[in-house]
Amino acid sequence: MHSLLGLLLVFAGSTFALYLLSTRLPRASTLVSAEEAGDRSLWFPSDLAELRELSEVLREYRKEHQVYVFLLFCSAYLYKQSFAIPGSSFLNVLAGALFGPWLGLLLCCVLTSVGATGCYLLSSVFGKQLVVFYFPDKVALLQKKVEENRNGLFFFLLFLRLFPMTPNWFLNLSAPILNIPIVQFFFSVLIGLIPYNFICVQTGSILSTLTSLDALFSWETAFKLLAIALVALVPGTLIKKFSQKDLCLKETSNTHSLNSRKVT
């Protein structure tokens, strides 16, 4: 009960701080009023139309208040990641539209890692009992997989990020219960989600530069789409190579049955 109350207090305080940050905007000539911008646009987008509207508003606002937009974006991203709130893909796309493909990618990779580590720490302090109580079967299954791959734990964590057998938010919450070292956890998120972040950020960069359908068939856009396709293929090749040597990805019972057949 105390852990749940503590988590609710942290969540309420963070929500209130983000609310103030998104509504107490410095005035800018590109926006009618700070209050109108906060009420109408500066909120988490739920679809592509809202995302496009938000990116247009923030790109105009960024011309006069670049540091504030950067701080607002980072705060919103860390808020979603730390409290395991779905929808970070929209923020990755928004990063590409606001900051460009490479700065946006770097920013998303760092924020994803820091935010996931924040979720790890919150779960470690407040959420262990809650996670085990509400997801006992999932925790037990993941615990078994982690123990089977303890010798190659880092590669196993990379596999889970590149080809998630379990949602990323649940892995973030359950990691401290599974005794996953926080350093390995951090770098597995940083490296393992690069392809996913790259695809989302590049998509946002492409969408932000398209002014007509003709631009979709330009050489620059074609090269970006080719890069996205190549990055999407690389993880599969690497994991196929390493998983055969270092990872135990099948159920233990199936492994025992196969071994018994080989012996007979």
**Residue 76's closest CA among 130, 33, 38?**
38
Q: Encode burial over 29-58: b for 16+ CB neighbours within 10 A, e otherwise.
A: eebeebeebbeebbebbeeeeebbebbebb
Assign 33 to helix, strand or coil.
Answer: coil
> What does the domain layout of the chain look like in residue ranges?
1-22+46-209, 217-259
Share of the chain above pLDDT 90, in %: 34
pLDDT digits (tens, 9 = 90+) for 49-91: 788 888 888 888 888 889 999 999 999 999 999 999 988 888 9
pLDDT digits (tens, 9 = 90+) for 197-240: 888 888 888 777 655 445 444 566 566 656 655 655 565 565 55
pTM value?
Answer: 0.79
For residue 33, the model assigns a pLDDT of 45
Distance CA 221, CA 211 (A): 12
pLDDT digits (tens, 9 = 90+) for 97-140: 899 889 999 999 999 999 999 999 999 999 888 899 889 999 99
CA distances to 154, 185, 226 from 138, rounded to whole Å, are: 20, 19, 37
